């Protein structure tokens, strides 16, 4: 775990505490940087401690506040320990970003008919069960304090059903989006908003060239694009936005 450093105080999230899962690299790191730039104190979670530490140190080097927490968000005890460490080092958790969702081996395209049953749990635990565990861990304190933001990173694969070959990944993401919509109705009266950010093709994706040409923006998404969307949903200006899925996809609707 890294030490914290004083961060910016002139932004909309000044003093808020955010826990970002899977934030050691790529999209998660972009989200952590965006929240820190907006003034939040960020707990950077990753399965691999060295990756979490690297992101936390980058935030600190830029004048932000961050700690690194290694934890497997598919494990209830480790989730609880990560939340306890965040509270102990930074304070009560105001913002939870469920970003962890891609195994270290990536998400290869594979037809459902060819996918062994024993592989199903790997995707569903990370993309759905982990979201439930993390939400459960932070909800009661958020409701008691009358403020909270829960933001889950989902995928256009789960919303649109493309590309083929991502059935289990899409199932987990779609399940997380459905859970979020219902949860938003349950906790809105306590000042807690629950939203999703649904990602289109990202810059590290392997996609057909014609997909890129069909996108109005003619480029893949970046971690900074996602971070900006998450920072908005976490901000005071989004207090009347809940139960929504914001598509951050460069205008990409279908293959």
User: Is residue 173 domain-resident?
Assistant: yes
> 12 with 235: CB under 8 angstroms?
yes
User: Is residue 1 domain-resident?
Assistant: no
State the CATH number of the domain containing residue 207: 3.40.50.720
User: Is residue 231 domain-resident?
Assistant: yes
The model's pLDDT over 183-240, given as tens digits with 9 standing for 90+, comes to 999 999 999 999 999 998 777 655 566 667 777 777 778 899 999 999 999 999 999 9
In angstroms, the CA 201 to CA 250 distance is 8
When the pLDDT of each residue in the chain is averaged and rounded to a whole number, the result is: 90
Q: Cite the active site residues.
A: 169
In angstroms, the CA 17 to CA 36 distance is 9
In angstroms, the CA 103 to CA 113 distance is 21
State the residue range of the domain holding 135: 17-248
pLDDT (mean) for 147-174 = 90
Q: pTM for the whole thing?
A: 0.91
Output the pLDDT for position 101. 86
User: Is residue 2 domain-resident?
Assistant: no
Number of domains comprising the chain: 1
User: Is residue 201 domain-resident?
Assistant: yes
Output the pLDDT for position 59. 98
HSE, side-chain direction, 13 A CA sphere, residue 166:
21
Output the pLDDT for position 105. 64
User: Is residue 254 domain-resident?
Assistant: no
Output the pLDDT for position 196. 98
User: Is residue 200 domain-resident?
Assistant: yes
């Amino acid at each position: 775990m890294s030490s914290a450093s004083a961060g910016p105080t002139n932004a909309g999230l000044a003093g808020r505490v955010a826990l970002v899962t899977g934030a050691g690299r790529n999209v998660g790191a972009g989200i952590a940087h965006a929240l820190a730039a907006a003034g939040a104190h960020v707990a950077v979670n990753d399965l691999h401690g060295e990756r979490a530490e690297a992101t936390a140190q980058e935030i600190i080097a830029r004048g932000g506040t961050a700690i690194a927490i290694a934890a497997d968000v598919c494990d209830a005890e480790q989730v609880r320990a990560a939340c306890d460490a965040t509270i102990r080092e930074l304070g009560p958790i105001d913002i939870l970003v469920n970003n962890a969702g891609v195994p270290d081996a990536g998400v290869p395209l594979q037809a459902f008919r060819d996918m062994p049953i024993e592989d199903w749990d790997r995707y569903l635990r990370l993309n759905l069960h982990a979201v439930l565990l993390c939400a459960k861990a932070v909800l009661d304190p958020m409701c008691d304090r009358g403020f909270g933001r829960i933001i889950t990173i989902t995928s256009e694969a789960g919303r649109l059903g493309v590309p083929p070959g991502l059935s289990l990944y899409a199932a987990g993401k779609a399940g997380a989006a459905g859970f979020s919509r219902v949860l938003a109705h349950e906790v809105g009266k306590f000042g807690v908003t629950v939203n999703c950010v649904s990602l289109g093709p990202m810059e590290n994706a392997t996609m057909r060239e014609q997909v890129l040409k069909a996108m109005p923006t003619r480029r893949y998404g970046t971690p900074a694009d996602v971070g900006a969307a998450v920072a908005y949903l976490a901000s005071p200006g989004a207090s009347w936005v809940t139960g929504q899925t914001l598509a951050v996809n460069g205008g990409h609707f279908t293959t």
